[in-house]
Amino acid sequence: MAVTASMFLTVCPLVFLASLIDAIGGGGGLISLPAYYLAGLPPTLAAGTNKLSACFGTLVATVRFGRGHRLLLRPALLAVAGALPGAFAGAELLRAMSEDVVRVIMLVGIPIMALVVAFKRDAPARPREMTRGRLALCFLIGLSCGFYDGFFGPGAGTLMIMLFTWVAGMDMVTASGTAKPVNLASNLSALSAFLLGGEVLFALAAPAIVCSIAGGWVGSKLAMRVGARLIRFVMLGV
């Protein structure tokens, strides 16, 4: 597929914004995936290219949250263990479906996901103790959100933050940090399926990666500096 200047001008600014938002409260895919559609990419090619650029922004955010000590390692590793097979299975299912069906799912699913984020319940007032039961639930969170991320994508990071706060009892900032390596793992796993199927437009992804890295750096810095109030605001805004 030929890449034009208008495609760069459409995708790059929106990918920067999506990566910034994703680093703070998740949900960047609600912006970046439609950006690739606006650029004229078909559904599976858009999904694969979006995964490649998103991986780099999420990697930067993961490193910054880790260095800021706002990432719980054991819950994150268990969730990663679930996200890897879940995301690959979701991406394979997406690739097996017809483009017309996928397009309908995306057109219906993105507004529904936006409503879920907008009407979410507040996080617990105080973080709860990380028991064995909650650690096991972290694996299930990773598995389910990974499958969702591989098949659909937009809002997966936000779902993880919501579940890490409601189910695992984390505070909002720590939940956002802990979700980042899980989101990275699910992105990489889903990306591997798209790469195997040749569903990545590298010429467009290359500049988008730069924008994604910049957005992830700025967003993670803002999240740790301002905290839960900013995360809630961004999640609602997305």
DSSP of 14-42: HHHHHHHHHHHHS-THHHHHHHHHHTT--
- Report pLDDT digits (tens) over 92-145: 888 888 777 777 777 777 677 667 666 665 555 566 777 888 889 999 999 998
Residue 200: per-residue pLDDT: 93
Check residue 148 and give its pLDDT: 86
Q: What pLDDT is attached to residue 232?
A: 63
Q: What is the pLDDT of residue 195?
A: 92
Give 144-164 pLDDT, tens digit per residue: 988 988 887 777 877 888 888
pLDDT at 61 over 70: yes
Rounded distance between C-alpha atoms, residue 184 and residue 234, angstroms: 20
The per-residue pLDDT for range 1-59, each reduced to its tens digit, is 788 999 999 999 999 999 988 888 777 888 898 899 999 999 889 989 999 999 998 89
Burial (CB count within 10 angstroms: exposed 0-12, middle 13-18, buried 19+), residue 42: middle
Instruction: Tell me the average pLDDT across 209-236.
Output: 80
What's the pLDDT band for 237 if we cut at 50, 70, 90? Answer: low
Separation CA 44–CA 129 (nearest Å): 41
Q: Provide the pLDDT for residue 71.
A: 83
| pLDDT in the model for residue 171 | 81
